[in-house]
Amino acid sequence: MTIPAATVDAVPLHRALGVTDGELEAIQVKLGRSPNDLELAMFSVMWSEHCSYKSSKPLLATLPTSGSDVVAGPGENAGVVRIGDGLAVAFKLESHNHPSAVEPYQGAATGVGGILRDIFTMGARPVAILDALKFGDPSQDRTRYLVRGVVRGVSGYGNCVGVPTVGGELVFHPSYAGNPLVNVMAVGVLEERHLTRAVAPGPGNLAVLFGSSTGRDGIGGASVLASATFGEASATKRPSVQVGDPFAEKLLIEASLELIERGLVEGLQDLGAAGITCAVSETADRASTGIRVDLDAIPRRESDMEPFEVMISESQERMLAIVTAEQLPHVLEVCARWDLPAAVIGRVTDDGLVTIVTGGLDAAGAPAAGARELARIPAAALTSEAIIHQRVAAAPVRRRPMPVPDDAPDAMSDPSPGLPERGMDPGAVLQALLGHPDLCSRAWVTRQYDATVGADTVDGSEHGAAVIRVRGTTKGLVMATDAAERVGLLDPWLGAAFAVAECTLNVAVTGAHALGVTNCLNYGDPERPEAFWQLQEGVRGLGDACRALGLPITGGNVSLYNESAATTIAPTCQVGIVGLLEDIGRRVGPVPGGAGEMVALLGAATRGLAGSIYVDIAGPGPDDRLPTLDLTAHAALLRLLPAAAEQGLLRAAQDVSGGGLAVALAEMCLWSGVGADLTLGVGAEPASDLFGEGPSRVAVTLAPADWDALATLAAAAGVPLQALGETGGDSLRIRLVAQGVASTSDERGAGIADDLDTSLDVLRDAWDHGLPRALGDDAWRPEPHAREG
């Protein structure tokens, strides 16, 4: 076998493949000899960060994963949690950051394809997609190109496979300029009895590869693209881009689910990073068996492929099924009916080895006469016993309470010209916040996503968490994904914990109970002690928050080396949660029903503006501190909300997050088309009361008659409840009154000068046009505002 000379360049082969000298020695120990070139290529992809989790595994081991309803946890393709009635839900978040930086359309498209395969491989029918996207400055041409490509990619793929895209995140922060994040979450529903594992049991069973043929896509994609920091070399990595075919994926979904429902497979594994090598070694290792691969039997798109190319190709839309000889004809019939090429490419063995044979296998599955063995590796050496590195963590020398303009990443170039400085009119600040690209309407994006295919979408992506009904039951699934990148930049522990807090609250405001947590850890180069420290802190924050809230982590994904020559990303612990509504008819939405409802706030503010979008646009102040997170108080709020929903006490509920309470209230007004007349007690720093992003708060509306019941419930739960006023009119009016201060006017000067009174039309204009304005899309038109009766 030859590795193309261009990639070797006088560097020893193993290093060219990203294998360190120490790792090569470890490989030699595992094999008791030196690997040949094919084996080395297989190790290089399996021992990449992406497949082996070699830097993060010891950290992930600390996460809480158990829960009484968890049917499958980390280690499987997706987490699975029981929801009653014999049903379960499968869900997982996964990154496709580096491929999307290189080719945004295909990178995002194949990201969607990959996470969907993780879901239906378990036997679940995918019912929802959520996409969390992070980019640099939206005024830059490069960013705009990436945004357009990524959004089109998600839309092109998700719409075609017929899975609604119902939620996600869109964040712009300069730290993502050179390294955008594309994290995709998928959710599926299955009958628990159809739960299928990615295993290769039963020596003698057949390994059937079905779906697209194997081409040169993504050769080295996993190891080279995901493990090497971007630089000038990226041009030479281009041929490794994977191309997606959503049409093939749709056929793959139907064929796979039919195979599972008819009980035709012993195990099923999708092909993702490291292609066939990963699929055969993982399925064999999980079942303590081996697999002998008949290399010549693998259908190829090109005739002149080298064995290593076939073995590590990341061609999309492929599946590996382990089937008995008796079921083989049925399996092949199903694949043929769905127009999917299928081939028997190997046999399960009892020797614990992955062997690659050319020259064919005989009827018994042994190498045919004259056949040659090209590789022979213990399956465990490639997967469960892959190398682990104990990385060095070091907190930054000076732990910054807040970014000092000079050493913070370049401030965004003028996000909103003519913005008021700190201390100016709160109405103008609110307008600027509603028009901020991170807070404004996402319609520019979401209108490109089919959110209603499947005819189960009760609430799509424009407001808060997505709600999908479970057809044939009274149940609903509520899903959300969140991160707190600006907080994570200042304190990576808090950033991760905040993400869990925000996401749990997004789910709980609907009245749902969280079932479990998935996550995607997006961090920098783990060989850099500061980046590894950020990862360590992030995992600690994630674990601490989930433990305190009693939530199991059922799966996730780790993406490291998110750095470019210019920037390292803000530490980003992306959290995804699925919650269960037992009675979807009792769900609470974020949109008030009309005028005359009481408006109130549940939870108490923790002060601090650091890490907020307010600081992003108004500039940092000398005393800015991070808000704190009280997980016990948060847990109490999470218990209260479903109880209040259960009793039908809430007309609307909306968690306070980006932009603070004022933005949460403004959104409720915009979505209902009805204003509000409110009074807010403020302290010495009114900006913090209005725009601070302290966690664990929910703005609610309710019928005045329900106030006493809600107050009783809140008091019993130990959750502060504060009346703010009532809905009505066509503007948002917030009167600020001093709390514990003698004279309002004396104290108010610190932050805000005036009461807030802004017409909804003005707020709506800012909110509607924020994104197209930021992205320079003059042609885009918002939908005319229409109130639903």
Ligand X SMILES: Nc1ncnc2c1ncn2[C@@H]1O[C@H](COP(=O)(O)OP(=O)(O)O)[C@@H](O)[C@H]1O
Residue number with CB closer to ligand X (225 or 644): 225
Distance CA 668, CA 478 (A): 19
Question: Total number of residues binding ligand X (CB under 6 A)?
Answer: 17
Residue number with CB closer to other proteins (248 or 652): 248
Site mask for ligand X (CB under 6 A), range 7-46, x = bound: ----------------------------------------
Residue number with CB closer to Mg ion (118 or 563): 118
Tokens 């850099």 correspond to: 528
Q: Which helix (H) or strand (E) holds 128?
A: strand 125-135
Decide: helix, strand or coil at residue 320.
strand
Residues 436-455 interacting with other proteins (rule: CB under 8 A):
446-455
Residues 259-288 interacting with Mg ion (rule: CB under 5 A):
270
Binding flag, residue 672, ligand X (CB under 6 A): no
Q: Give the one entry of ligand X, Mg ion, other proteins, none that residue 558 binds, where binding means its C-beta sits below a cut-off of 5 to 8 angstroms depending on kind.
A: ligand X
Min dist CB 268 to ligand X, Å, is 12
Q: Give the one entry of other proteins, Mg ion, ligand X, none that residue 521 binds, where binding means its C-beta sits below a cut-off of 5 to 8 angstroms depending on kind.
A: ligand X
**Residue 186 carries which side chain, given as an amino acid letter?**
A
Among 94, 137, 169, 245, binds other proteins (CB under 8 A): 245
Residue number with CB closer to Mg ion (122 or 549): 122
- Cβ-based neighbour number of residue 528 at 10 Å: 19
Instruction: Note if 769 is an active site residue.
Output: no
Decide: helix, strand or coil at residue 695.
coil
- Looking at 96, 173, 389, 463, which residue is catalytic? 96
Among 251, 429, 509, 676, binds other proteins (CB under 8 A): 251
**Integer angstrom CA distances of residue 458 from 81, 468, 479, 785:** 21, 5, 12, 20
Distance CA 442, CA 767 (A): 9
User: Which residues, 6+ apart, have CB-to-CB distance to 282 below 8 Å?
Assistant: 198, 269, 379, 383
Nearest to 440 by CA among 773, 687, 766: 766
Nearest to 257 by CA among 117, 352, 140: 117
Whether 181 and 136 have beta carbons less than 8 Å apart is answered as no
Q: Of 101-109, 267-275, 702-710, 718-726, which segment contacts other proteins by CB under 8 A?
A: 101-109
Among 75, 162, 529, 725, binds other proteins (CB under 8 A): 162
Q: What is the dihedral of CA 610, 614, 619, 620, to 10 degrees?
A: -20
Residue number with CB closer to other proteins (407 or 783): 783
The secondary structure of residue 91, as a DSSP letter, is E
The DSSP code sequence of 217-235 is: TTTTIIIIIHHS--SGGGG
Tokens 């509504």 correspond to: 581
Q: List % helix, strand, coil for the chain (3-state, nearest 5).
A: 35, 25, 40
Min dist CB 303 to ligand X, Å, is 29
Residue number with CB closer to other proteins (246 or 426): 246
Nearest to 448 by CA among 690, 149, 197: 149
Binding flag, residue 241, other proteins (CB under 8 A): yes
Q: Give the one entry of other proteins, Mg ion, ligand X, none that residue 783 binds, where binding means its C-beta sits below a cut-off of 5 to 8 angstroms depending on kind.
A: other proteins
Among 127, 252, 259, 458, binds other proteins (CB under 8 A): 458
Whether 83 and 89 have beta carbons less than 8 Å apart is answered as yes
Site mask for ligand X (CB under 6 A), range 557-596, x = bound: xx--------------------------------------
Whether 298 and 366 have beta carbons less than 8 Å apart is answered as no
Among 160, 626, 636, 670, binds other proteins (CB under 8 A): 160
Partners of 167 in the β-ladder: 130
Structure tokens at 104: 């945004």
Decide: helix, strand or coil at residue 329.
helix
Whether 199 and 105 have beta carbons less than 8 Å apart is answered as no
Instruction: Note if 785 is an active site residue.
Output: no
Q: Of 208-216, 321-329, 565-573, 733-741, which segment contacts other proteins by CB under 8 A?
A: 208-216
Binding flag, residue 118, Mg ion (CB under 5 A): yes
Question: Total number of residues binding other proteins (CB under 8 A)?
Answer: 53
Distance CA 520, CA 523 (A): 10
- For the chain, give me the number of helices (H) and strands (E)? 27, 26
Distance CA 51, CA 387 (A): 11
Q: Give the one entry of Mg ion, ligand X, other proteins, none that residue 155 binds, where binding means its C-beta sits below a cut-off of 5 to 8 angstroms depending on kind.
A: other proteins
Min dist CB 236 to other proteins, Å, is 12
Site mask for ligand X (CB under 6 A), range 489-528, x = bound: ------------------------------x-x-------
Among 476, 555, 621, 692, binds ligand X (CB under 6 A): 555
Min dist CB 305 to other proteins, Å, is 9
User: Which residues, 6+ apart, have CB-to-CB distance to 501 below 8 Å?
Assistant: 545, 629, 631, 634, 695, 696
Nearest to 439 by CA among 458, 415, 410, 404: 415
Residues 75-114 interacting with Mg ion (rule: CB under 5 A):
77
The secondary structure of residue 54, as a DSSP letter, is T
Residue number with CB closer to other proteins (140 or 324): 140
User: Which residues, 6+ apart, have CB-to-CB distance to 114 below 8 Å?
Assistant: 94, 96, 184, 270, 272, 316
Q: Of 6-14, 68-76, 324-332, 777-785, which segment contacts ligand X by CB under 6 A?
A: 68-76
Site mask for other proteins (CB under 8 A), range 307-336, x = bound: --------xx--------------------
Is the dihedral angle over the CA atoms 210, 211, 217, 222 positive or is it negative?
Answer: negative
Residues 570-629 interacting with other proteins (rule: CB under 8 A):
584-585
Binding flag, residue 553, ligand X (CB under 6 A): yes
Min dist CB 71 to ligand X, Å, is 13
Distance CA 541, CA 498 (A): 8
Q: Give the one entry of Mg ion, other proteins, ligand X, none that residue 102 binds, where binding means its C-beta sits below a cut-off of 5 to 8 angstroms depending on kind.
A: other proteins
Distance CA 331, CA 453 (A): 29
Min dist CB 454 to other proteins, Å, is 6
Residues carrying an active site annotation: 50, 96
Binding site for Mg ion (CB under 5 A): 77, 118, 270
Binding site for other proteins (CB under 8 A): 102-103, 105-106, 155-156, 159-162, 212, 215-217, 238-239, 241, 243, 245-248, 250-251, 301-302, 315-316, 338-339, 446-458, 469, 471, 584-585, 779-780, 783-786
Binding site for ligand X (CB under 6 A): 60, 63, 74-77, 92, 94, 118, 272, 519, 521, 553, 555-558
